[in-house]
Structure 1
Amino acid sequence: MNNCIPLISQQMRKQVQRFFTAEPLARFAELFIEDKLAESIRFGQLTVIHYRMFGGKGDEAYKAAAAVELFILASDILDDLQDQDAPHKPWMQAPQPVAIHVASAILTLSQQAMLDSTSNDEIQMALLKMMNAKLLQAANGQMIDILNEMTDEQSYLDMVKQKSAALLQFACMAGVILAGQPWNNVVAEYATEIGIAAQIQNDLRDLLRWDDKSDFLKRKRTLLTMYLLEGDAEEDQWIKAYFQGNISAEDIAPKRELFLETCERTGTILYGSVMSRMHYNRFEELLDSIQEISPWKSTFLQIINQKNA
């Protein structure tokens, strides 16, 4: 499937060149796209492979995949602007009003690109209805995440289902619908499961780092930080004190090794790994239940499990 990446990239640039007639808008959009392409365009690949799985034969999938990736790019830009934790990104180095405007324009462009992916009016309407439903769902999840209001495991998983999992559903289902097929409940469910598994893996990575992206240093409520805070051991009370704002980041700056040891000792790392694997295993069970996937399974798993550059 790697041979589809240049075709998706080409379609992303074509959309920018066609619709962004203001030179600065096109210039910044292409700069941001270049940064995106240096990493992974996994979501677009999921669109293409689902199109092929469900009988799609033409090149429309690359246009739909470009639409998906343009939306993911806009979402990433807005997410970084909200979190202020990716200073090396070109959109973080651009003036903030410019970055916000370009992200908003790319968001609209993604919808236009999806419209352009097919001339079939019925499929167009189905794609746009699905796209808007999933993007609104993701917007609700993002708002809950921004406010950091999760209180327990279930509320956190509900947020992830609305946010990360909805975007994976969007990517997979775009391929299914473009191929002329109806909404597929099994595809939707396994997209949710892999979305949850991937988010917990990301949480585990961000729990253990000690920089601007550290969930602990940012006092971010995730499945893992909430589990860690449940501990009652006297030697771990500084963790609760920091999370509650009773001590500062400067106070805990020398405690990185102690924090890593605590994550290991309390079983937080094991808990995260087990939870992620549980959802991944459910994803694989659902995957095996769809006959159309058999010839594509190894390629699909390769896309799902690829690491970002």
Structure 2
Amino acid sequence: MNDCIPLIGQQMRQMALRWFTAEPLVRLTEQFIEYKLQESLKFGQLTVIHYRMFGGEGDKVYRAAGAVELFILASDILDDLQDQDAPGKPWMQVSGAAALHVASSLLTLSQQGMLDCTDNNDTRLALVEMMNMHLLQAANGQMLDIMNEITDEQSYLEMVKQKSSMLLSFACMAGVMLAGKPWNSVVGEYAIEIGIAAQLRNDIRDLLRWDDKSDFLQRKRTLLTLFLLESLSDEDQWIQDYFDGRLSAEDIENARARYEEACERTGTLLYGSVMSRMYYNRFEELLDSIQEAGPWKATFLQILNQEIA
């Protein structure tokens, strides 16, 4: 599937050059797209593979995949502007107003790209309705994440389903529906499982970081930080004190080794790994139930396993 990445990138550039005419908007969009191409086009690849899985032929899928990736790029920009934890990315090195404008412009451009990927009016309507449904749900999940008010496992998983899983479902379903097929409930269901598995893997990584992206240092409520806080012994009270704001970052700046030992001792890391694997295994079971997936399963798993398994 790596051979489709240049084609997706080409479509992203073409859409921007077609619809954007203001020089600063064109210039910054091109810079941001080039950065995105060096990172990952996983979502666009999922669109392509689902289009092929469900019998789609021809090159129109690359326009749809480009539209998906333009939306993901816009989401990445907005997420980084909200979190202020990725100073090295190009959109964080321009004014916040300019980055915000590019992101909002990309949101509209992605929808226009989806409209332009087919001449079949029924398919166009179905695609845009599906797109809007997913993105509105993702907006709800993102707001819950921003507010950082998660209190238990159920509310956390619901937030992830609305945020990460909806973006994956959007990418997969775009390929299914562009191929002329109706909404596929199994695809929608396994996208939820993928999203949760992937988010838990990210949470494991961010649990142990000791920088601006550390969930602990940022006092971010995730399934793993909640589990950790519920599992602390008396000697770990400082972790609770920091999370509740009674200690500052300066107070714990030399406590990384103690913190990592507590994560291991409480079983937080094991818990995260087991939970992630459970959702990933459920995804594989659902994938196996789709007959069309057979010839594409290995490629599909290869795309996902780079970041999830």
Partner residue in 2 for 1:40: 40
The whole-number CA distance in structure 1 between the counterparts of 2:78 and 2:100 is: 7
Confirm whether residue 255 of structure 1 aligns to residue 242 of structure 2: no
Looking at structure 2, the residues matched to 235 and 183 of structure 1 have their Cα atoms a distance apart, in angstroms, of 52
Q: Report the Cα distance in structure 2 between the residues aligned to 1:35 and 1:226, rounded to whole angstroms.
A: 34
TM alignment of 1:91-240, pairs within 5 A: 91-240=91-240
TM-score (norm 2): 0.99
Counterparts of 1:112 and 1:235 in 2: how far apart (Å)? 56
Counterpart residue number, 1:287: 287
Q: Kindly state the Cα deviation for residue 191 of structure 1 after the two structures are TM-superposed.
A: 0.6
Question: Deviation at 1:231?
Answer: 2.0
Q: Show structure 1 runs of 5+ residues with no match.
A: none
Q: Deviations over 1:202-242 (max 9, x none)?
A: 00000000000000000000000000000241011111000
CA deviation profile, 1:81-122 (whole Å, cap 9, x unmatched): 000000000000001100000000011100000001101000
What amino acid does structure 2 have at the position aligned with 1:77? I
Which region of structure 1 is more displaced relative to structure 2, 85-94 or 231-240? 231-240
| Superposed counterparts of 1:13-24, under 5 Å | 13-24=13-24
CA distance in 2 between counterparts of 1:285 and 1:125 reads 31
Instruction: Give distance in 1, aligned partners of 2:99 and 2:233.
Output: 45
Determine the C-alpha separation between the residues in 2 that align with 1:116 and 1:303.
Answer: 26
CA contact (8 A) 2:196 2:276 kept: yes
In the other structure, the counterpart of 1:299 is 299
Distance 1:21 1:115 in 2: 20
Q: Percent identity?
A: 73
Q: TM-score, normalised by structure 1?
A: 0.99
Q: Runs in 1 of length 4+ with deviation above 2 angstroms?
A: none
In structure 2, distance between residues paired with 1:181 and 1:235: 57
Give distance in 2, aligned partners of 1:213 and 1:248: 17
Name stretches of at least 5 consecutive residues in structure 2 with no aligned partner.
Answer: none
Deviation at 1:307, TM superposition (A): 4.3
> What is the CA distance between 1:149 and its match in structure 2?
1.0
Residue equivalent to 1:65: 65
CA distance in 2 between counterparts of 1:231 and 1:55 reads: 50
| Whole-angstrom distance in 2 between the partners of 1:35 and 1:117 | 24
Q: Match of 1:173, as an amino acid? A: M
**Shift of residue 136, structure 1, vs aligned partner:** 0.3
Q: Residues of 2 paired with 1:284 and 1:307: CA distance?
A: 15
Equivalent-residue separation in structure 2 for 1:65 and 1:260 (angstroms): 40
